[in-house]
């Protein structure tokens, strides 16, 4: 799988990269939302992981921009990865267009369970 | 109106005294000295109500006698009793400043030698009264609350009621009538059947109701108070209450019946000397009625009676309303000289009263901003305080209007009035600003606290992500040496502890701010309990503990907030394992009469009875050294209780120190609907356990998502080696292996795999392109070539399950034959 991670914190990117690589998938990195949108424009990803709090454009706005696209990339599976602990954060993310939600610190099993659930619910052929 | 209240508050003091226990002589050789002491104590108590000066002498005598008793705890308590009586007398003689140091000196001893006794409570209570008299309102409030607690432990509800009434009186001076009402109501609920207490309660409840404009309800309470005064045959009290009734009726515009009450009061006062001192106030009320009826001449005569023998410059607060009446009357009559004198007096008393209200308010508000008082609803507080500010402004505005309408007043009076008005307007503004400032500060402080914790949590989570994530990735490396693995595990475990700390803190903030929501949906209770138990199996085993789980008498599918219920049980089991060094931990769930009961019991160190309530308070661990031994925030049980309460349930503990603890959660049981066909996929595999071997974490994720809902137990391991270990500890009905996970264990792969379950029960997902193991393994397992659709995998496993069952059945038949 080709996964894009939009996240401003380089350490978090490295951690997720190390995790994702364990599964044989590839993690591409965007250090802010605008860069992320640009990379989506020019490349084909299977899944987007999106941080919420970033300098410049925030994650929720980026998700809205993706969902507003006219092409099939508007349907990209998106999982929010955040340290935001507001009580209704999960509902907000889903209402804002995300498929699912992972709370930092990220536990590997949770990461891959969420990816698997998201991909399976999209009817995607996950390698088994 | 203040006058009846203050007199009745003295009654309260008297009532406290009369019920105090006497010290008894036991040693015959000292009998005389003890007898003398006891007699002085008794004399002091009986004189306290009628003659506090004599009571003071008796108390001093008792104290001197107590000091002559042979040293020891009993003598010390006798001394403390003497000092308490002396302080009570000083309190009644308005000499609080003299008494306070005496009480301060003996209070620690009293709390140490006679903890949780009525004497300790009485001392704390008088300390509160004295503090209040010297202006330390916050200390007073704390003392009253503490006295209430002590009386509760000493089981003297009567004194508890007195403490509550004291708090009510405190709020009365802050003009916070809803709270006055609340505390007096609570006091009368705790204790009834004592005339003196009841009369105070009814009278002051009535005053609070009247201040809130509920005249009918006030009349009813006054009625009760009157009936009791008559039963007590106390003319003085009866007259005071009748005056209050009249005043309330005047406020309500019912002048005729106000007059009737006054006539009645006069008749009683005429016959009883003790009530005659009340007459000036009765004249005053009559003057107000005459003035309201427009009979200025009569009003003038009556108000002159009221002030006949008093110095206008030193009147007590009792006269406040009558100064205002006199001002009205003299202004109407054009007697500017007398009007001015009463206006000055009114202003003096009103300023003093307002100062008390404001200082009491801010002190009370400071007290409210206290972590102990988490139940206080800040939002309500805010509106109340704002309303109060507005009320104050309104009453001041009304006063200004009153001055404004006084038409034919001399220039000097007008000038004075204007200055007074401006001064008071400025004062009102300043006070309102002060009240609003403290409100805003309070709000800001609370908001800042919530924000601080949310931000801290966010900021801590980010580096934690690095620690936990990277150590987890490291631990998946199978080439790690055992010693390095141990060290990395330690880092990871420390990170986990830190994460749970942050989670706990956030939960506390959520419960405090009311942001805690319960989301109920259909849940597999059995699986939840099994999962929690599984989390602690290793730790329990490492400590040599037996971990038992039983849920046979509980329904499997219930409707509940799974995440929160899991958190609660997790917390309780964690504590049980933590605090048990040998023996067992038992988790038991059962249902009874639409309730779900979950018990977590252990054979651990136990909890002393005194701490049974305390452990549910935030930031409490019973023994400080426990924190060092076991770590933890001490927030777990506080959160559990909040969660259980939010779920409409209860949590209780039964425990003896050194003999284990049992925590019992009792929740309303909402069983899932009977028709759960689609939601109970476990049926297809029954109570079947599956062991899966998959090295790729994404494959593990897919297996968990696809197979998890169908198997009661699903264990996923990363290697054949780990699978062999797992099989030695538990038995599995089916084994599923992801081909790529096996390729590394090349040596004797087939027989190793076969040892897990045999060909009928083992399925291998073969990756024909990358690493084909089909030829090597076809004798040892069933093979499915990748890619495999989830539905195909499930039906294949179901088929294997059926075959294994019938094979078992055949074997059973053969054995039977």
CA-only gyration radius of chain A, Å = 13
DSSP class per residue in B156-222: -HHHHHHHHHHHHHHHHHTT-HHHHHHHHHHHHHH----HHHHHHHHHHHHHHHHHTT-HHHHHHHH
Average confidence (pLDDT) over B624-631: 44
**Residue A127 to residue B699, Cβ atoms within 8 A:** yes
Contact list, B515 vs chain A (CB under 8 Å)? 87
**Residue A11 to residue B506, Cβ atoms within 8 A:** no
User: For B790, which of A85, A105, A120 is closest by C-beta distance?
Assistant: A120
Contact list, B702 vs chain A (CB under 8 Å)? 112, 116, 120, 126-128
Answer whether A84 touches B (CB < 8 Å).
Answer: yes
- Side by side, the strands of the sheet bearing B584-592 are B546-553, B584-592, B595-602, B661-668, B650-655
Contact list, A111 vs chain B (CB under 8 Å)? 697, 701
Q: How many CB pairs under 8 A join A and B?
A: 125
**How far is Cα B151 from Cα B743, in angstroms, rounded to an integer?**
74
DSSP class per residue in B736-804: EEEHHHHTT--TTHHHHHHHHH-GGGEEEEEBTTTB--HHHHTTTSEEEESS--HHHHHHHHHHHHHHH
Mean pLDDT taken over chain B? 78
- List, as own/partner pairs, every contact residues B620-628 make where C-beta atoms lie below 8 angstroms and the sequence separation is at least 24, other chains included: B626/B579
User: For A12, which of B465, B515, B765 is closest by C-beta distance?
Assistant: B465
**Residue B699 to residue A23, Cβ atoms within 8 A:** yes
Q: Check residue B22 and give its pLDDT.
A: 44
**Residue A113 to residue B705, Cβ atoms within 8 A:** yes
Find, among A1, A29, A2, the residue nearest to A15 by Cα: A29
**How far is Cα B634 from Cα B173, in angstroms, rounded to an integer?**
39
What are the φ and ψ backbone dihedral angles of B114, each rounded to 5 degrees? -130, 60
Contact list, A9 vs chain B (CB under 8 Å)? 462
Structural contact between residues B181 and B205, judged by C-beta atoms closer than 8 angstroms: yes
Q: Check residue B772 and give its pLDDT.
A: 76
Max avg pLDDT among A79-83, B421-425, B499-503: A79-83
Average confidence (pLDDT) over B796-801: 87
Residue B510's closest chain A neighbor by CA?
A87
**Residue A87 to residue B510, Cβ atoms within 8 A:** yes
CA angle A107/A108/A113 to nearest 5° reads 105
Per-residue pLDDT at B625 exceeds 60: no
Residue B363 pLDDT level (bands cut at 50, 70, 90): low
Find, among B230, B316, B239, B243, the residue nearest to B275 by Cα: B239
Structural contact between residues B631 and B497, judged by C-beta atoms closer than 8 angstroms: yes
Q: Check residue B684 and give its pLDDT.
A: 62
**How far is Cα B513 from Cα B502, in angstroms, rounded to an integer?**
17
Q: Check residue B677 and give its pLDDT.
A: 40
Q: What length is written for chain A?
A: 128
**Residue A24 to residue B517, Cβ atoms within 8 A:** no
**Residue A19 to residue B458, Cβ atoms within 8 A:** no
Residue B812 pLDDT level (bands cut at 50, 70, 90): low
Chain A: nearest CA to B463, how far in angstroms? 8
**Residue A116 to residue B704, Cβ atoms within 8 A:** yes
Most B CBs within 10 Å: which of A14, A105, A111, A125, as the mutation test of the B interface? Answer: A105
Pairing of strands B521-524, B557-560: antiparallel
Chain B: nearest CA to A69, how far in angstroms? 29
Residue B511 pLDDT level (bands cut at 50, 70, 90): confident
Q: How far is CA B11 from the centre of its chain?
A: 31
Q: Check residue B385 and give its pLDDT.
A: 47
Q: What length is written for chain B?
A: 817
Structural contact between residues B508 and B553, judged by C-beta atoms closer than 8 angstroms: no
What are the φ and ψ backbone dihedral angles of B522, each rounded to 5 degrees? -65, 135
Residue A6 pLDDT level (bands cut at 50, 70, 90): very high
Answer whether A113 touches B (CB < 8 Å).
Answer: yes
Chain B: nearest CA to A75, how far in angstroms? 21
Per-residue pLDDT at B665 exceeds 90: yes
Average confidence (pLDDT) over B132-156: 85
**How far is Cα B155 from Cα B522, in angstroms, rounded to an integer?**
45
**H or E stretch covering B438:** helix B411-475
Other C-beta atoms closer than 10 Å to the C-beta of A7 total 26
**Residue B469 to residue A113, Cβ atoms within 8 A:** no
Find, among B528, B473, B460, the residue nearest to B667 by Cα: B528
**How far is Cα A80 from Cα B76, in angstroms, rounded to an integer?**
69
Most B CBs within 10 Å: which of A116, A124, A125, as the mutation test of the B interface? Answer: A116
Residue B592 pLDDT level (bands cut at 50, 70, 90): confident
3-class DSSP assignment, residue A124: coil
Chain A: nearest CA to B382, how far in angstroms? 24
Structural contact between residues B404 and B396, judged by C-beta atoms closer than 8 angstroms: no
Chain B: nearest CA to A54, how far in angstroms? 13
Chain B: nearest CA to A11, how far in angstroms? 6
CB-based contacts of B801: which residues, under 8 Å, 6+ apart? B685, B686, B688, B733, B734
User: Which tens digits make up the pLDDT trace of A18-45?
Assistant: 999 999 899 999 999 999 999 999 999 9
CA angle A75/A76/A82 to nearest 5° reads 125
Q: Check residue B369 and give its pLDDT.
A: 40
Residue A87's closest chain B neighbor by CA?
B515
In B317-410, where does DSSP find H-type helix? 320-333, 336-368, 378-405
**Residue A112 to residue B697, Cβ atoms within 8 A:** yes
Find, among B648, B665, B456, the residue nearest to B575 by Cα: B665
* Sign of the CA dihedral running A37, A39, A41, A46: negative
Region of residue B593 (left: phi > 0; alpha: psi -120 to 50; beta: else): left
Q: Check residue B710 and give its pLDDT.
A: 84
Start-to-end Cα distance in chain A:
13
Could you say which DSSP state residue B659 is in?
Answer: S
User: Which tens digits make up the pLDDT trace of B41-82?
Assistant: 989 888 876 778 888 999 999 988 888 888 888 888 899 999
Contact list, B706 vs chain A (CB under 8 Å)? 116, 120, 128
Q: Check residue B29 and give its pLDDT.
A: 64
Both tokens of B432, joined, read 């309102």
Chain B: nearest CA to A44, how far in angstroms? 20
Window from B161-165, B500-504, B552-556 with minimum mean pLDDT: B500-504
Contact list, A105 vs chain B (CB under 8 Å)? 461, 464-465, 467-469, 495, 499
User: Which tens digits make up the pLDDT trace of B281-291?
Assistant: 999 999 999 99
Contact list, B697 vs chain A (CB under 8 Å)? 19, 22-23, 108-109, 111-112
Average confidence (pLDDT) over B756-765: 82
Chain A: nearest CA to B450, how far in angstroms? 11
**Residue A109 to residue B697, Cβ atoms within 8 A:** yes
User: Which tens digits make up the pLDDT trace of B238-249?
Assistant: 888 899 999 999
Residue B1 pLDDT level (bands cut at 50, 70, 90): very low
**How far is Cα B458 from Cα B466, in angstroms, rounded to an integer?**
13
Q: Check residue A126 and give its pLDDT.
A: 62
3-class DSSP assignment, residue B128: helix
- By CB neighbour count within 10 A (0-12 exposed, 13-18 middle, 19+ buried), where does B798 fall? middle
Chain B: nearest CA to A23, how far in angstroms? 5
Answer whether A114 touches B (CB < 8 Å).
Answer: yes
Pairing of strands B661-668, B650-655: antiparallel
Q: Check residue B709 and give its pLDDT.
A: 82
Residue B565 pLDDT level (bands cut at 50, 70, 90): very high
Query: Which residues sit opposite B784 in a β-bridge?
Result: B765
**Residue B705 to residue A128, Cβ atoms within 8 A:** no
Residue B699's closest chain A neighbor by CA?
A128
Q: Tell how many helices (H) and how many strands (E) occur in chain B.
A: 32, 12
DSSP class per residue in B460-517: HHHHHHHHHHHHHHHHT-TT--HHHHHHHHHHHHHHHHHHHHHHHHHHHHHHHHT---
**How far is Cα B226 from Cα B245, in angstroms, rounded to an integer?**
10
Angle between helices B279-293 and B296-306 (to 10 degrees): 160
Could you say which DSSP state residue B654 is in?
Answer: E
Per-residue pLDDT at A7 exceeds 90: yes
User: For A84, which of B458, B463, B788 is closest by C-beta distance?
Assistant: B458
Contact list, B463 vs chain A (CB under 8 Å)? 11
Average confidence (pLDDT) over B458-465: 84
Residue B513 pLDDT level (bands cut at 50, 70, 90): low
ipTM of the complex model: 0.91
Answer whether A34 touches B (CB < 8 Å).
Answer: no
Contact list, B789 vs chain A (CB under 8 Å)? 125, 128
Per-residue pLDDT at B416 exceeds 50: no
Find, among B672, B657, B548, B644, the residue nearest to B607 by Cα: B657
Both tokens of B744, joined, read 């590394």
Per-residue pLDDT at B423 exceeds 60: no
Residue B747 pLDDT level (bands cut at 50, 70, 90): low
User: Which tens digits make up the pLDDT trace of B8-42?
Assistant: 444 444 444 444 444 444 445 678 888 888 889 98
Q: Check residue B14 and give its pLDDT.
A: 43
The CA distances from residue B711 to B685, B728, B734, B758, in Å, are: 6, 20, 10, 20
**Residue A83 to residue B458, Cβ atoms within 8 A:** yes
User: Which tens digits make up the pLDDT trace of A53-73?
Assistant: 899 999 999 999 999 999 999
Residues 40-59 of A with CB under 8 A from B: 53
**Residue B705 to residue A125, Cβ atoms within 8 A:** no
CA angle B714/B715/B720 to nearest 5° reads 140
**Residue A105 to residue B788, Cβ atoms within 8 A:** no
CB-based contacts of B156: which residues, under 8 Å, 6+ apart? B118, B121
**How far is Cα B781 from Cα B773, in angstroms, rounded to an integer?**
11
Start-to-end Cα distance in chain B:
100
Other C-beta atoms closer than 10 Å to the C-beta of B245 total 28
User: Which tens digits make up the pLDDT trace of B296-311?
Assistant: 999 999 999 999 888 8
Residue recorded with tokens 């203050």: B6
Higher pLDDT, B215 or B755: B215
**How far is Cα B537 from Cα B603, in angstroms, rounded to an integer?**
16
**How far is Cα A17 from Cα A24, in angstroms, rounded to an integer?**
11
What are the φ and ψ backbone dihedral angles of A121, each rounded to 5 degrees? -70, -20
**How far is Cα B18 from Cα A87, in angstroms, rounded to an integer?**
55
CA angle B316/B322/B324 to nearest 5° reads 110
Residue recorded with tokens 């992972």: A102
Q: Check residue B627 and give its pLDDT.
A: 42
User: For A113, which of B468, B469, B701 is closest by C-beta distance?
Assistant: B701
């Amino acid at each position: 799988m080709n996964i894009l991670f939009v996240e401003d914190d380089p350490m978090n990117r490295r951690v997720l990269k190390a995790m994702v690589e364990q599964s044989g998938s590839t993690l591409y990195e965007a250090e802010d939302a605008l860069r992320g949108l640009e990379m989506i424009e020019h490349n084909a990803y299977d899944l987007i992981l999106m941080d919420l709090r970033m300098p410049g454009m925030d994650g929720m706005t980026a998700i809205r921009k993706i969902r507003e696209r006219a092409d099939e990339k508007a349907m990209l599976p998106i999982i929010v990865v955040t340290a935001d602990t507001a009580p209704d954060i999960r509902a907000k993310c889903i209402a804002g267009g995300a498929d699912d939600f992972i709370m930092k610190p990220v536990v590997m099993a949770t990461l891959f369970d969420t990816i698997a659930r998201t991909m399976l619910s999209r009817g995607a052929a996950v390698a088994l | 109106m203040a006058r009846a209240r203050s007199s009745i508050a003295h009654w309260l003091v008297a009532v406290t005294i009369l019920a105090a226990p006497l010290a008894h002589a036991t040693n015959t050789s000292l009998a005389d000295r003890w007898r003398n002491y006891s007699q002085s104590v008794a004399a002091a108590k009986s004189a306290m109500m009628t003659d506090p000066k004599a009571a003071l002498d008796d108390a001093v005598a008792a104290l001197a006698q107590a000091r002559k008793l042979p040293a020891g705890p009993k003598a010390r308590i006798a001394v403390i009793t003497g000092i308490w009586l002396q302080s009570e007398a000083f309190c009644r003689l308005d000499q609080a400043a003299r008494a306070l140091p005496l009480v301060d000196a003996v209070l620690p001893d009293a709390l140490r030698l006679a903890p949780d006794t009525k004497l300790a409570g009485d001392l704390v209570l008088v300390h509160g009264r004295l503090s209040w008299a010297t202006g330390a309102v916050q200390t007073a409030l704390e003392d009253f609350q503490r006295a209430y607690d002590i009386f509760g432990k000493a089981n003297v509800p009567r004194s508890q009621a007195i403490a509550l009434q004291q708090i009510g009186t405190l709020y009365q001076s802050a003009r916070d009538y809803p709270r006055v009402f609340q505390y007096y109501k609570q006091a009368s609920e705790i204790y009834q059947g004592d005339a003196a207490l009841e009369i105070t309660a009814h009278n002051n409840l009535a005053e609070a109701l009247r201040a809130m404009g509920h005249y009918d309800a006030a009349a009813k309470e006054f009625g009760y108070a009157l009936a009791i005064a008559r039963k007590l045959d106390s003319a003085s009290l009866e007259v005071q209450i009748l005056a209050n009734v009249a005043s309330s009726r005047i406020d309500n515009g019912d002048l005729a019946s106000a007059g009737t009450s006054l006539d009645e009061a006069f008749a009683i006062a005429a016959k009883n000397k003790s009530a005659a001192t009340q007459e000036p106030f009765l004249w005053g009320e009559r003057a107000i009625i005459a003035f309201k009826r427009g009979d200025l001449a009569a009003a003038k005569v009556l108000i002159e009676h009221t002030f006949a023998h008093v110095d206008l410059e030193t009147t007590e607060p009792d006269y406040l309303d009558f100064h205002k009446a006199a001002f009205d009357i003299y202004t109407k009559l054009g007697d500017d000289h007398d009007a001015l004198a009463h206006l000055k007096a009114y202003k003096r008393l009103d300023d003093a009263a307002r100062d008390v209200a404001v200082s009491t308010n801010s002190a009370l508000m400071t007290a409210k901003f206290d972590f102990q008082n988490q139940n206080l609803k800040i939002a309500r507080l805010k509106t109340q305080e704002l309303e109060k500010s507005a009320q104050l402004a309104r009453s001041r505005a009304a006063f200004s209007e009153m001055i404004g309408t006084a038409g034919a007043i001399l220039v000097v009076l007008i000038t004075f009035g204007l200055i007074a008005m401006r001064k008071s307007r400025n004062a009102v503004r300043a006070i309102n600003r002060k009240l609003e400032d403290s409100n805003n500060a309070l709000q800001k402080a609370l908001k800042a606290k919530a924000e601080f914790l949310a931000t801290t949590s966010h900021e801590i989570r980010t580096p934690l992500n690095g620690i936990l994530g990277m150590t987890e990735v490291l631990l998946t490396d199978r080439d790690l040496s055992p010693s390095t693995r141990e060290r990395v595990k330690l880092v990871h475990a420390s990170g986990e502890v830190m994460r749970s700390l942050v989670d706990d803190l956030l939960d506390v903030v959520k419960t405090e701010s009311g942001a805690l929501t319960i989301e109920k949906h259909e849940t597999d209770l059995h699986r939840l309990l099994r999962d929690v138990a599984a989390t602690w199996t290793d730790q329990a085993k490492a400590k040599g503990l037996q971990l038992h789980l039983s849920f046979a008498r509980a329904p499997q599918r219930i409707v509940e907030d799974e995440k929160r219920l899991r958190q609660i049980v997790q917390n309780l089991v964690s504590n049980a394992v933590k605090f048990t060094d040998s023996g067992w931990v038992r988790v038991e769930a059962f249902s009874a009469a639409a309730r779900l009961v979950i018990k977590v019991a252990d054979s651990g160190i136990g909890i002393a009875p005194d701490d049974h309530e305390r452990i549910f308070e935030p930031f409490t661990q019973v023994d400080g050294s426990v924190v060092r031994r076991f770590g933890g925030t001490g927030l777990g049980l506080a959160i559990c209780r909040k969660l259980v309460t939010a779920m409409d349930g209860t949590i209780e503990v039964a425990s003896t120190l050194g003999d284990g603890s049992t925590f019992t959660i009792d929740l309303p049981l909402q069983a899932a609907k009977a028709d759960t066909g689609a939601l109970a996929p476990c049926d297809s595999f029954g109570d079947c356990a599956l062991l899966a071997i998959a090295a790729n974490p994404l494959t593990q994720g897919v297996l968990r998502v696809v197979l998890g809902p169908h198997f009661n137990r699903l264990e996923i391991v990363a290697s054949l080696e780990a699978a062999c270990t797992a099989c030695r500890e538990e038995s599995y009905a089916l084994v599923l292996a992801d081909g790529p996970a096996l390729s590394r264990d090349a040596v004797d792969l087939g027989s190793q795999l076969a040892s897990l379950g045999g060909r009928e029960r083992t399925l291998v997902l073969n990756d024909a392109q990358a690493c084909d193991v089909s030829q090597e393994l076809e004798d040892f397992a069933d093979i499915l070539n990748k890619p495999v659709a989830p539905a195909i995998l499930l039906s294949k496993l179901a088929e294997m399950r059926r075959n294994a069952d019938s094979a078992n059945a055949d074997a059973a038949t053969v054995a039977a034959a």
